[in-house]
């Protein structure tokens, strides 16, 4: 079975632009979470979705938004990009969103803002 | 708010045992996770604790004390491939209200295993 997939792998954008990152969860998983990881730091939680509903939101500005589609894939959108948005964006999927569940991470999208 | 502390770096010898500590202060608690992350790769799940005590999984064990806000990851019979960053993460209620949770990660402990 395929693991979590993310696209694109790498992306270079300029300040002020908009970006859309995509994630496909493991087959059968209904929950997707998004994280931002800056070099040398742990991942920071952005959003969690389950069954197309937002189930968690981290402390990120409104420039960050996400959605989950009927097939459980998800998009993360970032508007008005800043240099500080340069990071590895990780998507993780899980069967459920509460209790003792494992999250499986995708390879990430490396975003560079210039 | 959430605050998670773990040592920045550790070095241990192949075949030895190493303990990586994690202390946390969170508003609410719904479980603690340990992840392994090799350089340039995504994190992989190692363990989950929600009740006090020790969880053992092969060469890896994780301990939790909720009253002390403390956890450790124990790695036995260290192998060179265990050189990686180890991330402690706590799940707690998120900003967005009832029924929602977020996973807060520490900055990670970079473990170097030497021959």
Nearest Cα of chain B lies from the Cα of A38 at a distance, in angstroms, of 10
Mean pLDDT value of segment A101-111? 90
Q: What letter would DSSP give residue A52? A: T
Sheet holding A19-24, edge to edge: A5-7, A19-24, A74-78, A64-68
- How far apart are alpha carbons B57 and B75 in whole angstroms? 10
Query: Cβ–Cβ of B43/A90 closer than 8 Å?
Result: yes
Look over chain A and give the mean of its residue pLDDT values, rounded to a whole number. Answer: 92
From residue A14, how far is each of A81, A86, B29 by CA, in Å?
7, 10, 39
pLDDT at residue B1, rounded to an integer: 65
pLDDT at residue B79, rounded to an integer: 97
Given a cut of 70, is residue B95 above it in pLDDT? no
Chain B residue nearest residue A50, CA to CA: B100
Beta carbon pairs, A and B, within 8 Å: 68
Look over chain B and give the mean of its residue pLDDT values, rounded to a whole number. Answer: 92
- How far apart are alpha carbons A45 and A50 in whole angstroms? 15
pLDDT at residue A40, rounded to an integer: 86
Cβ contacts of A89 on chain B, cutoff 8 Å: none
Tokens of B82: 């265990």
More confident residue, B28 or A110: A110
Given a cut of 60, is residue A100 above it in pLDDT? no
pLDDT at residue B30, rounded to an integer: 85
Nearest Cα of chain A lies from the Cα of B72 at a distance, in angstroms, of 17
Chain B residue nearest residue A90, CA to CA: B42
Chain B residue nearest residue A36, CA to CA: B105
Helix (H) or strand (E) holding A33: strand A31-37
Given a cut of 60, is residue B9 above it in pLDDT? yes
Q: Which residues of B touch A (CB under 8 A)?
A: 4, 30-31, 33, 41-45, 48, 50, 87, 89, 94-96, 99-108
Query: Cβ–Cβ of A58/B31 closer than 8 Å?
Result: no
Sheet holding B3-5, edge to edge: B3-5, B18-25, B70-75, B60-65, B53-57
pLDDT at residue A86, rounded to an integer: 97
- Calculate what percentage of chain A has a pLDDT beyond 90: 75
Helix (H) or strand (E) holding B9: strand B9-13
Nearest Cα of chain B lies from the Cα of A19 at a distance, in angstroms, of 21
pLDDT at residue B97, rounded to an integer: 58
More confident residue, A35 or B99: A35
When pLDDT is cut at 50, 70 and 90, the band that residue B92 belongs to is confident
pLDDT at residue B77, rounded to an integer: 97
Query: Cβ–Cβ of B105/A44 closer than 8 Å?
Result: yes
Mean pLDDT value of segment A31-50? 92
Given a cut of 80, is residue A37 above it in pLDDT? yes
Chain B residue nearest residue A101, CA to CA: B48
């Amino acid at each position: 079975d395929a693991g979590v997939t993310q696209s694109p792998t790498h992306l270079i954008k300029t300040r002020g632009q908009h970006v859309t990152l995509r994630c496909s969860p493991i087959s059968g998983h209904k929950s997707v979470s998004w994280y931002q990881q800056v070099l040398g730091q742990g991942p920071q939680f952005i959003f969690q979705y389950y069954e197309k509903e937002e189930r968690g939101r981290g402390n990120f500005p409104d420039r960050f938004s996400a959605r989950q589609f009927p097939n459980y894939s998800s998009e993360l959108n970032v508007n008005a990009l800043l240099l500080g948005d340069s990071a590895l964006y990780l998507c993780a999927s899980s069967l459920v969103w509460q209790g003792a569940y494992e999250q499986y991470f995708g390879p990430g999208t490396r975003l560079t803002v210039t | 708010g959430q605050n998670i502390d773990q040592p920045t770096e550790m070095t241990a010898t192949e075949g030895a045992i190493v303990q990586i500590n994690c202390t946390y202060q969170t508003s609410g608690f719904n479980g603690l996770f340990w992840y392994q992350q090799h350089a340039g790769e995504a994190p992989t799940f190692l363990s989950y604790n929600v009740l006090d005590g020790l969880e053992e999984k092969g060469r890896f064990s994780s301990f939790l004390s909720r009253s002390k806000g403390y956890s450790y990851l124990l790695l036995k019979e260290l192998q060179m491939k265990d050189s990686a960053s180890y991330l402690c993460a706590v799940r707690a209620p998120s900003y967005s209200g009832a029924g929602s949770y977020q996973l807060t990660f520490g900055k990670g402990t970079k473990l170097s295993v030497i021959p």
